[in-house]
Amino acid sequence: MQNFDIVVIGSGPGGYVAAIRAGQLGFKTAIIEREALGGVCLNVGCIPSKAMITATHMLHRAQHDFPTMGLNIKGGIDVDMKKLVGWKQSVSDKMSGGVKQLLKGNNVTVFQGQADFKTNKEITVKSSTGTESIQAKYFIVATGSRPIEIGGFPFDEKDICSSTGALAFDAIPKRIVVIGGGYIGLEISSYLRKLGTEVTILEAQSSLLAGVVDADCAQVVTRKLEKSGVKVIYGAKAKSQKKTKDGYEVTYDLNGKDEVVKTDKILVTVGRRPNGDQSNLKAAGIAVDERGFIKVDAQRRTNVAHIFAIGDICGQPMLAHKASHEGVMVPEIISGINRVYDAKTVPAVVFTDPEIAAAGMTEAEAKTKGYNDLLISKFPFAANGRAVSMMETDGFIKMIADKKTHVVLGIHIVGPEASNLISEAVLAIEMGARLEDIALSIHPHPTLGETMMEAAEAALGHAIHIIQKPLTSATKGAHA
């Protein structure tokens, strides 16, 4: 029997961060991981997918933009898929190895194996070498989530895949059917299309990313996807698949009629479910809701006072950076610091082409919350010198503010480097910034970041690089 102050179960972006912070605070800490350090995000999710997206974006630019710039590549570009996947894996391995070193440097003991609660103060860890028992004063459950599997499409991760299998193809698929037009499906569809794969998306809703991002932003991505040759079938509900001599036939319902599409690979991306049915949570008396999420309070404490839960396992949004934020917070709470989860906004990013990023409320959400009088602006990347010089002018920044106070309520970006630009928006919303705070902050030129300043100016009625109606006497002093 080994004893610790804090034991963290799961080493994803929530778990490993929690263990590091606990070690920094002087707690005797252990972390348990059944697979690879870094969890889904570092090994089969966020990091490897962005590696593949980056590589294929470069390929696309070399094939389509370089000639316009006068950069001619003779003979074309050959894609070595096995080498590309190997490079992708090396990126994940570096990140996972970095986590290992950070844990070691903060005196965190690492256990490899499956953790299950025996009581609310003891867990067992089962590995290939046997089973051992561990006790702790506090536990932090960070066991994450897994892809949802739908009936008739069992994952084999070779032909019928979740995102995990789709990031490990050793050859470029000729054809793929993607079930679900959410952010994971679109990110993978985008990079596969750039490799030359014929992509068909079966989307049950009437639009892509419905309810996930601002509708105006989603339209920009949809147009570019369809222009690239991706076929999107709306209102389509996948029913079954059948193996044939030259691939698969996928049957789907469209307006009450069965339709069939032929393919070589099938990717199912209809969402993720929390792992609330794992780790024998019942033995510890931990309350789990009907969807599989562990019930927690604002400090991420479960109904068992010395057990906490963070990340995907304790509710939406199921995002790595939200888990990491909680991972820092919980050990501090255990140490006696009075903290609660009180983020005004959790940014979300979709790594499509172009990228989409959002912070704060959409227009519809603002109105639902009583903000009926809004200032809304859109500033296009086509009017930004840096975007033009990059040949990446699709998209805009959309800014939403309360007309009475000018307080910024939401910022939505679709365009180049949206994932990097959104951090300024998060800070603005967290600090309760007004449009003037952004508009009067000098932004460096020539940069994509200038679009944020110009979007604030546009909401106030006087952006420089787009034509707006002349200022009235009531708005001339908008900076005052």
Name the residues annotated as catalytic: 445
- Burial label, 60 (beta-carbon count in 10 A; 0-12, 13-18, 19+): middle
CA–CA gap between residue 165 and residue 266 (Å, rounded):
10
Is residue 366 within 8 Å of 404, Cβ to Cβ?
Answer: no
Residue 467 DSSP symbol: -
- Residues facing 247 on adjacent strands: 244
Nearest to 418 by CA among 443, 449, 445, 388: 449
Is residue 12 within 8 Å of 142, Cβ to Cβ?
Answer: yes
Per the listing, tokens 């110009």 go with 454
Q: 218 — alpha (psi -120 to 50), left (phi > 0) or beta?
A: alpha
Per the listing, tokens 């014929």 go with 198
Residue 282 DSSP symbol: G
Task: Return the structure tokens found at 163.
Answer: 């995102």
> What's the 3-state SS for 133-173?
EEEEEEEEECCCEEECCCCCCCCCCCCEECHHHHCCCCCCC
Residue length, the chain?
480
Task: Return the structure tokens found at 179.
Answer: 């079930």
Per the listing, tokens 């070595």 go with 80
Three-class secondary structure of residue 118 per DSSP: strand
Per the listing, tokens 């994971």 go with 184
